[in-house]
Structure 1
Amino acid sequence: MLRRTLAWHVLLAAAIAVVICVLITLGVWRFAEDDAHRRVETVARQVAATMLAPMIEQNFLRLDSFGRGYLRSRVAPFLKSGTVQRIKVFRLDGELATVVFSDEPRVEGLSGRVDSQLATRLDAGDVLVQPVPRDAAHRYEASLPGSRLEVFSGFRDAGGNDMRLELYLPVDVAGTSRNAAFVLLPTVLIGMLLLTAATVPLSVTLARRLERDRAEQRAAREYGLAAAELARRDLAQRLHDGVIPDLAGVGLLLQRAQLGWSRHHDLLDKAQDLLAGDLRELRTLLTELVPADLVGQDFAGSLHDLASRIREGESSGQGPAVDISAVDHLDERLAVVLYRVAGELLRNAFRHAHARTVRVRVVALETAIELTVTDDGMGFDPHRTRRPGHVGLRLVQRVIDDHGGQLVVISAPGRGTAVTVSMPYASA
């Protein structure tokens, strides 16, 4: 129990650590993305402030080769330093965007549609930051190293034309997240390790207390099942030593009185018959109450005797048919549990179910021993709550659970009952 508790303690701590690490990683990744957007927007504003000075001097709709060369020379330092990966200037006509200038000549003249919301925001003059779409219009940017964000800003050129400046700025969200995780996760893991170590004594204390409570409950249930047997033993001893001899003596005295007083012959005959009937009933009760002392050494014989004693004295029906296959010697503890369970099931069959025929079958399986008690009694609905006071079957169920066994009840009103108990050998 203690080892299992420690194992569960460590596994739970490991699971919590994994969950916390995943949450921290996701949080760091989200923070890195937000930080990248803020940083890119700041850098883009600074770069745009420098680039726009030569751009507003040009008429991009009449831009010649000399003007293109001039603009490329002005933006070259930003490209070489890696601050900017690509520059585009495009004209927006509704939702149609046409590139009129770029540091990559192959993209000049390309047109494509932009999202209507994006077009509206660009018309409003906002500085927009967004991930680079993965489409044909951005196929040349897809070959650039790393990852990047695109930033849009608007300006008016020398010809009075509304233009849009698009900058592609590199970002490293994965690297930022990795560096932050390398700082945070070791601290969190060390904290979890210390917390796990600090709570081990508490888990051990709780486990021992739980095991002690379970042991007390298990002992109480076993005592409850054995209490009836102990009471029967005491009652049987008292009947055997006192009540039955006294009644037998009274019967003899009545016989002698019958010989001396003929006028009371009928009355004495009646009293003698009553005593004889009571003696028979008491002897029957006595034989039923006497339990076996050791059942493990000869389990088959003990179970035969138990079934016969319980059934003996019934006014109708047949004695229990006992079928025991390959079961001889059993561990005494396991045998006692099965013996008591069988006794409870047999008494239920005769006293409560009013069965006429009862069959007991015991089979030794590879890892368990199986006991089945079948009767043709009145039956009941196993799924309905039993009435208060009828705790026999419930007590049997809990005792079997304590020993790692299983109990299956198949019954229906008017169709008899079949109760199967499977007890593993390891329960001993």
Structure 2
Amino acid sequence: MRVLRSPVALFLMLGLLTVVGIIVATNKLADRAARQEAIAEAAGTTEVLARSVVEPDVPKGLINTTPRKLAAADKMDRAVTPRLLDVSTVDRVNIWTEDGRNVYSSEGPDLLGRKFSLSDAQLAVLEDGGAGSEIADPDRPENRSVTGADSGRGLVQTYTRISSPEGEPLLLEAYYTLDEIEQRRAEIYSSFRWITIAPLVLMILVATAILLGLTRELRRGAAERERLLRSAMEASDAERRRIARDLHDSVVQDLAGTAFAVTAVARQPNTEPAAKETLDDAGAALRGSLKALRSLLAEIHPPELSADGLAAALADLIAPAGAAGIQASVSVEGAETISNEKAALVWRVAQEAVRNTIRHSEASTLAVTVRGDGSRLTLEVVDDGVGFEPRGQRGRDSYGLRGLRSLVVDSGGALDVRSSPGDGTTVHMEVDAQ
């Protein structure tokens, strides 16, 4: 099952990072939208106050207000401004003529009569109506008195058009503190924050449920595949044992008895020399066939596949290599405590690799090495044969070793075949010892 954990963990990690990224981006966009909505709401409030509170009570003569003529401005201070500041969150108010001359400021006479260039947005509002807003720029001369260090806080200026009693268009400018805008932004944001987060949470829950279902199915499928592989392996072992037992109990015994009888007849004193020679040759042939058959039986099914008998089983496995002209050796160290199941797995992989070497490699040497350290077990089968191109051909070792690779992986290990033309072949397996 280890093979399933890494992709699932990677999928979960990528999914979590994606969702976190979506939430962060959505929150930023929602926060920006809420701030823009709060500023737009302040501009709308200014427009409503201008129509309902300011414009109806603008005193005559306000457009002619100068530092020397403060009567109309004083009337504004007494009649309009208190109501304007009391019923809203407006921090201060300015009124400008089309040519940028200040005719009223709730902060006092410092700006009265002074001219400043209006921005394009302000001129557009004066011409077309509506409302506008912007963060008060402390570098603009007309804003220095309200955004300087003495104020201790930033401001948002909103503006809209009103008309004087004389019918002249005026620009009403109202300032709101950023603290008030931020408070309103937080209120707006909190009202629809869950609208953006809830679908993501629902998506996470649905995706998690789907992923858990798929993972469960994958694990069930892997468990079924492992069960089938083990069943096939057990069935193969049972069939190998049956064949080996039948051959041993019938053919091997018959050959052994026949070889013994032929040798006994050859040794009788009254046997003619020519017959004796023929019988000796027949006996030698029977003993050679018997030895080859016993080697075949060891390859079909070794007599012992426990940890203690692994070295002997591997030695029997490489016995046919000598007949093929291959100098073979076996070395087993640190495998005394491995489980019988892992000993059988090592023998099966070694069997397939040795069989491929004998049949196809044209090698002169073959080395089977097993090393264990108590927790991990490695097997290497190395030959100096002609080698092959693993990517270029699906030839001599692909089917058997490919069938065993899944079994090795499901046992928590890895099976690797390394080869190249002219450089021999190495079959390397690493697996848990228990």
Fold match (TM-score > 0.5)? yes
Q: 1:215 aligns with which of 208, 214, 223?
A: 223
Partner secondary structure for residue 343 of structure 1: helix
- Structure 1 residues 288 and 132: CA distance shift in structure 2, 3 A: same
Cα shift at 1:230: 4.1
Please name the residue that 2:358 is paired with: 350
Cα shift at 1:392: 2.0
Please name the residue that 2:332 is paired with: 324
Q: Does 1:180 align with 2:191?
A: yes
Distance 1:354 1:225 in 2: 29
Cα shift at 1:359: 2.1
Q: Does 1:89 align with 2:95?
A: yes
**1:226 and 1:340 in contact (8 A); partners too:** no
Q: How does 1:21-60 map to 2 (within 5 A)?
A: 29=31, 32-33=34-35, 36=38, 39-49=41-51, 50-52=53-55, 53-54=57-58, 57-59=61-63
- 1:42-96 per-residue CA deviation (whole Å, 9 max, x = no partner) reads 4222211232341674225856451433333332332244431222234566xxx
TM-score (normalised: structure 2): 0.70
Q: How does 1:255-334 map to 2 (within 5 A)?
A: 278-279=289-290, 281-296=292-307, 298=308, 301-312=309-320, 313-320=322-329, 322-334=330-342
Please name the residue that 1:386 is paired with: 394
Distance 1:404 1:110 in 2: 84
Letter in 1 for 2:325: S
- 1:5-38 per-residue CA deviation (whole Å, 9 max, x = no partner) reads xx99x99999999789778866864674465356
Q: Does 1:168 align with 2:175?
A: yes
Letter in 2 for 1:40: A
Q: 2:139 aligns with which of 136, 140, 162?
A: 136
Partner secondary structure for residue 62 of structure 2: coil
**1:129 and 1:151 in contact (8 A); partners too:** yes
- Structure 1 residues 122 and 204: CA distance shift in structure 2, 3 A: closer
Partner secondary structure for residue 398 of structure 2: coil
- 1:160-194 per-residue CA deviation (whole Å, 9 max, x = no partner) reads 86542222244333431465369x59x969x97xx
Distance 2:186 2:93 in 1: 24
Please name the residue that 1:72 is paired with: 77
Cα shift at 1:318: 0.4
Where structure 1 has 5 or more consecutive residues not aligned to the other structure, the ranges are none
Q: Does 1:154 align with 2:164?
A: no
- 1:347-386 per-residue CA deviation (whole Å, 9 max, x = no partner) reads 3333343433222333334642222222222323344573
- Structure 1 residues 130 and 80: CA distance shift in structure 2, 3 A: same
- Structure 1 residues 405 and 254: CA distance shift in structure 2, 3 A: closer
- 1:85-142 per-residue CA deviation (whole Å, 9 max, x = no partner) reads 222234566xxx665542234566474673x5x3663354232333415542356347
**2:126 and 2:170 in contact (8 A); partners too:** no
Cα shift at 1:218: 1.1
**1:225 and 1:395 in contact (8 A); partners too:** no
Of 22-31 and 356-365, the range deviating more from structure 2: 22-31
**1:28 and 1:180 in contact (8 A); partners too:** no
Letter in 2 for 1:51: V
Letter in 1 for 2:42: V
Cα shift at 1:328: 1.8
Distance 1:98 1:311 in 2: 111
Distance 2:230 2:162 in 1: 90
Letter in 1 for 2:226: R
Distance 1:113 1:310 in 2: 99
Distance 1:181 1:393 in 2: 60
- Structure 1 residues 268 and 245: CA distance shift in structure 2, 3 A: same
- Structure 1 residues 80 and 329: CA distance shift in structure 2, 3 A: same
Q: 2:420 aligns with which of 409, 412, 416?
A: 412
- Give aligned pairs, total: 404
**Displaced runs of 4+ in structure 1, greater than 6 A?**
10-24, 142-148, 158-161, 202-208, 248-257, 259-277
Letter in 1 for 2:70: F
Of 203-212 and 363-372, the range deviating more from structure 2: 203-212
- Structure 1 residues 352 and 163: CA distance shift in structure 2, 3 A: farther
Distance 1:388 1:173 in 2: 76
Distance 2:115 2:345 in 1: 89
Q: How does 1:97-112 map to 2 (within 5 A)?
A: 101-105=104-108, 109=114, 111=116
**2:96 and 2:103 in contact (8 A); partners too:** yes
Cα shift at 1:264: 12
Partner secondary structure for residue 128 of structure 2: coil
- Structure 1 residues 276 and 339: CA distance shift in structure 2, 3 A: closer
Q: Does 1:239 align with 2:247?
A: yes
- 1:313-336 per-residue CA deviation (whole Å, 9 max, x = no partner) reads 53212012x333333222333333
Where structure 2 has 5 or more consecutive residues not aligned to the other structure, the ranges are none
Partner secondary structure for residue 132 of structure 2: strand
Partner secondary structure for residue 94 of structure 2: strand
Q: Does 1:122 align with 2:122?
A: no
Distance 2:83 2:300 in 1: 107
Cα shift at 1:221: 2.3
Please name the residue that 1:396 is paired with: 404
